[in-house]
Copies of this chain bind each other. A is one copy, B any other.
Amino acid sequence: MLRRMSRLFLRTLREDPADAELPGHTALVRAGYIRRAGSGMHTWLPLGHLVYRKVERIIQEEMDRMGAQQVHFPALLPREPYEASGRWTEYGDTLFRLQDRRGNDHLLAPTHEEMFTLLVKDLYSSYKDLPLSIYQIQTKYRDEARPRAGLLRAREFVMKDSYSFDVDDEGLAASYEQHRAAYIATFDRLGLDYVIVDAMSGAMGGSRSEEFLCPTPVGEDTFVRSPGGYAANVEAVVTPRPDPLPYDDVPPAHVEDTPDTPTIETLVAFANAHLPRDDRAWTAADTLKNVVVTLSYPDGRREPLVVGLPGDRDVDDRRLAAQVEPAVVEPFAEADFDAHPGLVKGYMGPHALGVDSPTGVRYLVDPRIVEGTRWVTGANEPGRHVFDLVCGRDFTPDGTIEAAEIRDGDPAPDGSGPLEIARGIEIGHIFQLGRKYAEALDLRVLDEHGKLVTVTMGSYGIGVSRAVAAIAETTVDELGLCWPRQVAPADVHLVVAGKDAEVVDTAERLATDLDVAGVDVLLDDRQASPGVKFKDAELLGVPTIVVVGKRLADGVVEVRDRATGERSEVTVDDAVAHLAAICVS
């Protein structure tokens, strides 16, 4: 394919667009690959669409290769199946809802578990029909609270979503492994670096779940890895639970006056000044901090929750949010304190907490708060704290919760050493849904003994438009985009650097010959200075840049590698063979 820039629907921008936050997104807009069409909505321009199509095709090929079969559902769907699964409500504000001319409720699907489940129920009835993996590549809709980062968090985006259907858990495990392998092959072909991390299953329910994260400082997701190979999304990190401690020699709990100490800092300072320890100074880690929030459920129900954690750690909002989904965490306001007089602001303590306590407020603690640990914490009275309060002796929480922040250097759950924290873009997600949807929608098949069994499902997603963004963000440099060849909009960016007939003729001939040789060429035949053309070539990021210009006097053209910046010269006669070899290799 030979494309001429003189006719290409393209304008490169000299200045950064106002709405671009990330370097890759900025470059995609500046280079004329995409353009904003609305909040969280993007238009693909011709070069962007070429890249998009190549990415899509690779994903499609790998899905087909693993034996998944492509189908296609509507994006606009009636309410009923999502009502049956509960997600019409659970999705909250993130779901785009609308009514048709008859007043019937519809939605723009954010994901299609229900439809896949119903389709299989419609067609299949026997274990002999399974296993089955089906997929679609389709436009999805989510009314994000804060659309941002261009293609990374859009309100309209494209996903490849597949679903596996098996008669038993072993089958699901096998289907899951097949998808995992197909994802590895896919991301390898896309030239994307990735880490496979343990993940929460989130609103979907289910058991095993992993994310493919593309490591980059601009990623929205935080994950951890250990020296021993453990890796997890920060939401899914499991805190190692210490062994119980002996507490026979701990003195009985005693309440002390600690005036004006509503915060951990003021409490620690007061204790060190007025109630010093013999062995060392008090630190925040000696205190048990109790944080109260309101959980707001999709059905409108609201309830308070108190999270107890060591005073030297904060609650990580995203970890907490992941634990309580589909409920949403909201602040516990003054009015809420008024409504719960048993909760003393700034001085809450375990005695007033728990479903069996007078307040009846649920009380979950960090997994580090094990039996025998000894704490300074609120005494449920203004200006008073309790000391030497021992977990398991003096109080028993309702359970534990993974809500505390993870820190670089925290011990890894696999015991292999300290955790390292990094950021990444989620490019894929695979997980074992289990029977949630099959049960809700009654998808059952006859097993080999003629008994009806509920099917078990897996769900697997790749963000197609997001993969384009991830490639851009992880390959962009200070000059612009820098595509891996397999997804680049062309193999060779051929710059006509001069107006002499010989330069022009040679470039045209070279372009044609390369086209014939099966090399995709983007020919810069515009009326513009070589300087402008070089800058645009770097911005556009085609992997190989060829310059036909001054050096033609010596019978040579220049070949530049966009990624490494390496330059070499090749004779005009050798150019086609040389470039074909580069592009095919």
Contact = CB atoms under 8 A, between A and B. Distances in A.
A77 B122 CA distance: 34
Contacts of A301: none
B98 A43 contact: no
A69 B119 contact: no
A166 B85 CA distance: 52
A538 to B, nearest CB: 20
Contact of A100 (B73, B101, B119, B143): B143
A44 B67 contact: no
Contacts of A238: none
Interface residues of A, number: 52
A46 B42 CA distance: 29
A93 to B, nearest CB: 4
Contacts of A97: 98
Contacts of A77: 37-38, 41
A interface secondary structure, majority? mixed
Contacts of A396: none
A191 B146 CA distance: 48
Contacts of A50: 70
Contacts of A35: 119, 122
A323 to B, nearest CB: 24
B11 A124 contact: yes
A196 to B, nearest CB: 28
B134 A9 contact: yes
A46 B9 CA distance: 35
A121 to B, nearest CB: 12
Contacts of A75: 75, 139, 156
A125 to B, nearest CB: 9
A285 interface: no
Interface in A40-54: 41-46, 49-50, 52
Contacts of A11: 123-124
B101 A76 contact: no
Interface in A303-324: none
B101 A72 contact: no
Oligomer: number of copies: 2
A8 B69 contact: yes
Interface string A463-484: 0000000000000000000000
A100 B41 CA distance: 13
Given A77-B37, A124-B11, A43 B71 contact: yes
A115 interface: yes
A45 to B, nearest CB: 6
A123 B155 contact: no
A49 B78 contact: no
A96 interface: yes
Contact of A72 (B9, B38, B39, B44): B44
Contacts of A98: 96-98, 108
Contacts of A415: none
A58 interface: no
Contacts of A9: 69, 71, 123, 132, 134
Contacts of A156: 74-76
A18 interface: no
A119 B38 contact: no
A32 B124 CA distance: 12
A280 interface: no
Query: Top 6 nearest A-B pairs by Cβ distance?
Result: A98-B98, A44-B72, A41-B74, A46-B69, A93-B101, A38-B78
Given A39-B78, A100-B143, A139-B139, 18 more contacts: A9-B69, A9-B71, A9-B134, A11-B123, A38-B77, A38-B78, A38-B106, A41-B74, A41-B76, A41-B77, A43-B72, A43-B119, A45-B71, A50-B70, A52-B72, A75-B75, A76-B141, A93-B101
Interface of A: 7-11, 32, 35, 37-39, 41-46, 49-50, 52, 67, 69-78, 93-94, 96-98, 100-101, 106, 108, 115, 119, 122-124, 132, 134, 139, 141, 143, 145, 155-156
